Amino acid sequence: MRPARRGPGCGSGSVRAAGRTLLAAAVPCPRALNLGGPRPLGCSRGHMAEGDTGSSQKQNEEIEAMAAIYGDEWCVIDDCAKIFCIRISDDTDDPKWTVCLQVMLPNEYPGTAPPIYQLNAPWLEGQERADLSNSLEEIYMQNIGESILYLWVEKIRDFLIQKSQMIEPGPDIEKKTEKDDVECEDDLILACQLENPEIEELPLIDHGIPITDRRSTFQAHLAPVVCPKQVKMVLAKLYENKKIASATHNVYAYRIYCEDKQTFLQDCEDDGETAAGGRLLHLMEILNVRNVMVVVSRWFGGILLGPDRFKHINNCARNILVEKNYTNSPEESSKALGKNKKVKKDKKRSEH
């Protein structure tokens, strides 16, 4: 059982639109990046003018390309609002510097409006932040009317690679042996159990509204959990349902906050849907939810959905988290994005 190995996490950020600052850096998230409010499936961001149809097609093509290129690094936060996040590192195998780029695509992008973006990294501040933001805005000004997300991501990656090649050390990350990691993780699980010694009852399980696309159906299930034992109890109860047990995939993720250690115990499971569990957990991290487990069942309908399957999984999860009031207010979510929290990952997989 090993804790998750992570580079520097998402940290404080300023939100800008290329070519202009939207808010001061002290306010890390504008209303445009509202992650907390409910949004019905199939929602519209307002009437789209006839001239924006081409922009919408270009957006969809760019989103599909980004998902195909970056895989697990690309995450859909809110498909209706066109909010996405990508984790960018200087090195895939052993990252030293990491930045999370969060973007919202207005209806008019890429035709006449720039993306609205937020750079999240606890170490990125001052002149470095200003220089990187100016570089992104310069790319936009040089490519007005064109899709620029790929250019932005690679520019940030080049920035991180150059920084890693400098003499200055990376962010302070305590190095531990694998044995130390296991002992630390065991302590964390024990601490969570000691905080809730009487938890023996099965928590209440809620079921979300199914989403159907091309004969495939997706449905989320949610339960409050405060210890790993409850995670196993929820899974066992769900698998008593023959329909859920027969699902092609039952992807899940959970986050448990341990007050004593001031950290999170979390894990995820793909159940055969490669990278789906990690994307689901990433969404829960960004929404800053705690003490909750989400399982998304998918019944395959015979038609391959491509990247849309990840969109539906995250939309199902987000909808039920919002419905059950697990998401913070927009202001609290913004503050949460700026915190550099120590996160531990429970690598013990629950047996089905």
Residue, of 238 and 18, whose pLDDT is higher? 238
Express each pLDDT in 57-107 by its tens digit: 888 888 888 887 787 788 888 888 888 999 888 876 677 888 999 999 999
The predicted structure's pLDDT at residue 269: 92
The predicted structure's pLDDT at residue 336: 42
Give CA–CA dist 87/68, Å, rounded.
Answer: 15
Residue, of 313 and 95, whose pLDDT is higher? 313
SS3 for 93? Answer: coil
In this predicted structure, the answer to whether residue 185 has a pLDDT above a threshold of 50 is: yes
Closest of 289, 245, 291 to residue 271, by C-alpha: 245
The predicted structure's pLDDT at residue 189: 60
Q: What is the dihedral of CA 101, 141, 51, 42, to 10 degrees?
A: 0
Residue 163: pLDDT band by 50, 70, 90 thresholds? confident
Give CA–CA dist 93/96, Å, rounded.
Answer: 10
Residues 6+ away with beta carbon under 8 Å from 128? none
Closest of 305, 295, 297 to residue 249, by C-alpha: 297
In this predicted structure, the answer to whether residue 191 has a pLDDT above a threshold of 70 is: no
Residue with tokens 């936009």: 140
The predicted structure's pLDDT at residue 261: 73
Mean pLDDT of 149-172: 79
Express each pLDDT in 323-341 by its tens digit: 999 885 444 443 444 443 3
Residue 317: pLDDT band by 50, 70, 90 thresholds? very high
Express each pLDDT in 223-246 by its tens digit: 999 988 999 999 999 999 999 999
Residue, of 126 and 166, whose pLDDT is higher? 126
Strand (E) or helix (H) holding 136: helix 126-142
Q: Pull the structure tokens for residue 56.
A: 């919408």
Residue 262: pLDDT band by 50, 70, 90 thresholds? confident
Closest of 235, 180, 184 to residue 346, by C-alpha: 184
